[in-house]
Amino acid sequence: MIIEETHLKGCYILSPKVFEDERGYFFETFNENVFKSQTGLSVKFVQDNQSKSSMGVLRGLHFQKSNHSQAKLVRVIKGKVLDVCVDLRKNSDTFGEHFSIILDDKQHKQFYVPRGFAHGFLVLEDDTIFSYKCDNFYNKESESGILYNDDTLNIDWNFPEEKLIISEKDLALPSLKTLLNEI
């Protein structure tokens, strides 16, 4: 497995070694020893989640606050997404910056998003199955987020806005500026 850090400290792209033959393929999705040796991070995942979505569904940008924050290891089992994270660590040199990556069922790349980041994804193919491991349990009272089209983030979702499918809850998320004033 090849693990590369992005320009956002602590965010990693994991590219597995895929073994293919006439029967299909096999690859290791996570190895704690390899991850720790290449990143220096010791992560214990305690919850796995999975969603299925249609093309144009945008989920995010979500995060859990304070003691309930979560690191996530995300991947696509079937289909394709544009995966995005935003650095919300106030003392970080990259605070307010974002990173995006295409995750699909062809390359099998995964993306590690550490605690202190908002996360979201845009589904680019129908019937996409998205999976993520979390290092902390979900807590409804601690959920929060940032509006997907926040002007200060300037995220290019590279998708026609009129074709986006976004929940009412996600459309009501605050801007980064409003969120910072609330904290």
Catalytic: 132?
A: yes
Q: Which of 12, 98, 108, 132 is catalytic?
A: 132
End-to-end CA gap in the chain: 39
Q: Which of 62, 98, 108, 119 is catalytic?
A: 62
Please state, in angstroms and rounded to a whole number, the distance separating the CA atoms of residues 62 and 65.
10
Q: Identity (one letter) of the amino acid at 132?
A: Y
Catalytic: 138?
A: no
Instruction: Report the half-sphere exposure of 104 (CA within 13 A, side-chain side).
Output: 8
- What is the 3-state secondary structure of 44-106? CCCEEEEEEECCCEEEEEEEECHHHCCCEEEEEEECEEEEEEEECCCCCCCCCCEEEEEEECC
Q: How many CB atoms lie within 10 A of CB 70?
A: 25
Please state, in angstroms and rounded to a whole number, the distance separating the CA atoms of residues 117 and 119.
6
Residues involved in catalysis = 62, 132
